[in-house]
Amino acid sequence: MGIKIPIIEGGFGEECRVLTDKMIAEIHGMKEFKIRERINNNIKRFKENIDYIDLQQRILATDTFDLSNFGYAKQAITQAKNIYLLSERGYSKLIKILDTDKAWEVHDELIDSYFNLRQAVKESISEKDKAIIAIVNSHSDLETALAIKQYDELVTKPLQLEVDRYERFLCEKTGCLTKSELATKLDCKPQTLAAKLKKADVYTKTSQIAKTFLDKYPDKKIIVEYQNTYKDNHGVEHTTNEWQWTYAGAKLVVDHLLELGMAVFTDNNGFKLVA
């Protein structure tokens, strides 16, 4: 509706969005005392701690409760007899009391864009992001430690297991693999692997790395090129351009084969090329 309002949760249960009488007054274009007056005149229709909480009573009960965090001026706090916090159910009851076309119009919009949107946003956030948000929103060392523990269980440990899998059965992060060594890791002959990689569009027909495959990962160092010098049977020295798979390259190739169903992985036997 073009109105910026703070998001406040809690009070009536975990993750329950709520509205202060100040927010309701701003949204409906009314004075705060008018909203409180309607509630007070119909207080028998509202259930305390279910439909409403009188924040002014919380101030009287504790010195640590600060309503300035809710946007109330200090003078307004001292002058008000009641300051109400309404649940979604309490707000819906208030609309019935107001009972104007404008009130119902605002009610429908607010239910859709404020109360109901919480679940839609919640469902669109990944578990990983929720874990990060929990760390950011923690208010004590204990909450932070518990949030970090949850993040480790959800994100860090699974990733570590994946890294361990590749380092244990494939290649060390700092190492490289020749074409023959990669074939050995996949329990097959080099020519068998070459045939699979051609079929998977990783190799060209001449068993060179396909440019289309390299272009998929412009920020990854997939291969390391070097010059290989050797002597033939007649003692003549020759130099050829060779290359090896890096750790990242070997992992990408194996992941590609796994995705295409051309390879499998088992915890005991590692990676295997599928016949």
Find the helix packing angle between 88-98 and 101-110, rounded to 10°: 160
The more confident residue out of 110 and 63 is 110
Q: Cα torsion for 209, 210, 213, 217, to the nearest 10°?
A: 60
Report how far residue 211's alpha carbon sits from residue 238's, in angstroms, rounded to the nearest whole number: 27
Task: Kindly give the interhelix angle for 32-41 and 88-98, rounded to the nearest 10 degrees.
Answer: 90
For 138-186, how does the pLDDT look when each residue is reduced to its tens digit (9 = 90+)? 888 888 898 899 888 888 888 777 778 888 888 888 889 999 999 999 9
- Predicted model pTM: 0.45
pLDDT at 123: 64
Give 65's pLDDT tier (boundaries 50, 70, 90).
low
Contact 20, 84 (CB under 8 A): yes
Q: What are the tens digits of pLDDT across the range 194-226? A: 999 999 999 999 888 899 998 999 888 999 988
Give the Cα separation of 242 and 108 in Å (integer).
68
Alpha carbon 163 to its chain's center: 21
